[in-house]
Structures are given as structure tokens and as C-alpha cells.
Structure 1
Amino acid sequence: MAGKSGVVPVYDLTFGVNTTGRAGDADTIVKDAESLSVSIDGNIEEWNPMDQGGWTRRLMTSKSLSVSMGGKRNYGDPGNDYIAGLAFKNGQDCNSVFSINFPDGATLKFDCIINVTSMGGDSTATDALEWEALSDGKPIYTPASGSSES
């Protein structure tokens, strides 16, 4: 199936979590998510060798990935209930798998830690649910078919 091209709205991205931890696929949608923001953090090693005349050398030595999600609390939705249920858990109970399908057909899948960062809100607001999926190891990025990315 050919993906989309050109500028597209963020809602064309689809995502999922695995509600059983690390065993299986990330195919459960979390209803009423309003925002999805992917952040990539690169760790750079720096050194100042004498042969560079005072200029710094650098090498990317590691990376981490985080996906921040914002939305509304939807009681009774399996994905939303799963995420909200992790708010007061620790350790391996917070392990999951997260996936994103990009509009061009590329996919990103990674083992993650789910960190619930905010719930609730003002008395007259809709109940919020904000969380992040933090990579735990190397993600699997599959470029769209026909793409030159690697």
C-alpha cells in the first residue's frame, strides 16, 4: 500500500501500545489522544585533541527516544484504562511496546517504559491523561517502501 506524500496533519499518524507488557504487538489504540510528540536525544562525546588547534571534536555515542502523549481520560477504553492504570505502578509493570505508523508508510516500534505524567485538571475541564513512552533499547525503524532512508 502506498503511503501519503506532501504535508499531512498529525492525526494521520497512527500509534498503539501493548497492554500486556512486552509480549506481543503494540496494536491497542489509546482513545482520545490529542497530541503526539516524538523527541530524539543524542548523547555527544566531546574531546579537545592537541592536533586540532583548540577545536573540539565530537562523536554521537548514543541516542534515546521519547514520545509524549496528551489527551483526555476515557474510562472504559482498553488502551486508555491501561495507560491510566500504570500511574501508580513501578518496575517491570510499566514495560510495554509502542509503535507509530507514519503517513508515508514508515513504521517505528520500540520496547518502552510508560510514564504517566499528569491526570485530572480544573474542576470544569475534561479529565486529562498525559504520558510518555520512553525507549528501552534500540527501536526498529522501517522506512516506507521505495524510500532511500535507512
Structure 2
Amino acid sequence: MAKTGFALNSENKFEIDVTPGSTETYEILAAGLSTFDPQWNEELDQTQYMDGDGFASSDVTGAQLVISFEGHRKFGDAAQDFIASLQPALGEDRKTNFKWTDANGDEFSGNVTVANIVGGGGDANAKNTFSFEIHFNGKPTFTAAPVTP
């Protein structure tokens, strides 16, 4: 059954494959993270047609799901340690697999690139900051939440 009412962001589940290129090993991505922001980064074609009296019509012609994460660096957490290890990597070495299960139980999964990793920083008396982005490569696989009577 679909969720009703207000969901907490902590009901979302994120999993990252920490062994890309071999048997998939998913680790939960949650420790130390306090915020996430999914964006579909849509590409639009906005064209004015003669029958629109000078007003445009919009079509979504492309998109890419990008999820930004922010929080604090937790050393010893398998998911965070894996992401931090990618900082000097480029190209294919930044790619892995990822799953996002939203609060309703719907899942988006697929191959991703980990980008814009910031593995530390901040005030002397503060926890290390940690931020990064997950960029889905191509259309994510969508799996609807199981329907229960």
C-alpha cells in the first residue's frame, strides 16, 4: 500500500556498491549524512509556434538524476570510506552502482558516477564536513514499491 501522510527524510534508504568491477557489495549510505537533495536536471526545448501567439511550448528532451549529499565525515564507515577513496580517481574509476529506495518504497537504481567529493574541512572546533554527488549514468531503473492489500 502506498504511504500516506508526511514522510521523514530518514525513511529514505541509500546503498552504494563498494566493490565495482567485481561481485556487487552494497553498503548503506547514511552515517554522518544529514541532508540529501535529488534533482532531475531536466533539459528543455522551449519553442514559440505561430499558433501560440508568441508564447512558448515546453518539452522535456532529456534529464539526469543527480543526488547531492552533505554531512560530516565518519571515518571507518564502509560507504563513506569508499567514496572518500575516489577523490583522486578519474574516468571509469569514479563509477559504481547505486540504489535509492524512497520513503514510499519505490526504488531507483543503476550505474552512477561519484562527483564533487569534499572529504573534509570546516572550523577547528567542528566535525569534518563531507559532501558529494551521485550522478546516474543514463536512465535509472525504476522499481515500484510492492503493493500490499
Q: TM-score, normalised by structure 1?
A: 0.85
Residue type at the aligned position of 1:113: T
Deviations 1:87-142 (A, max 9, x none): 12111110011211122221111211101432221111111210110111110122
Aligned to 1:131: 132
Matches of residues 88-99 of structure 1 in structure 2 within 5 Å? 88-99=88-99
Residue type at the aligned position of 1:27: Y
Aligned positions, number: 146
User: How far apart, in 2, do the equivalents of 1:69 and 1:14 lie?
Assistant: 13
Aligned to 1:6: 5
User: How far apart, in 2, do the equivalents of 1:73 and 1:94 lie?
Assistant: 19
Residue type at the aligned position of 1:7: F
User: How far apart, in 2, do the equivalents of 1:128 and 1:37 lie?
Assistant: 16
Aligned to 1:33: 33
Percent identity between matched residues is: 23
Aligned to 2:49: 49
User: How far apart, in 2, do the equivalents of 1:24 and 1:56 lie?
Assistant: 49
Unaligned runs of 5+ in 1: none
SS in structure 2 of the partner of residue 41 of structure 1: coil
Aligned to 2:123: 122
User: How far apart, in 2, do the equivalents of 1:26 and 1:7 lie?
Assistant: 32
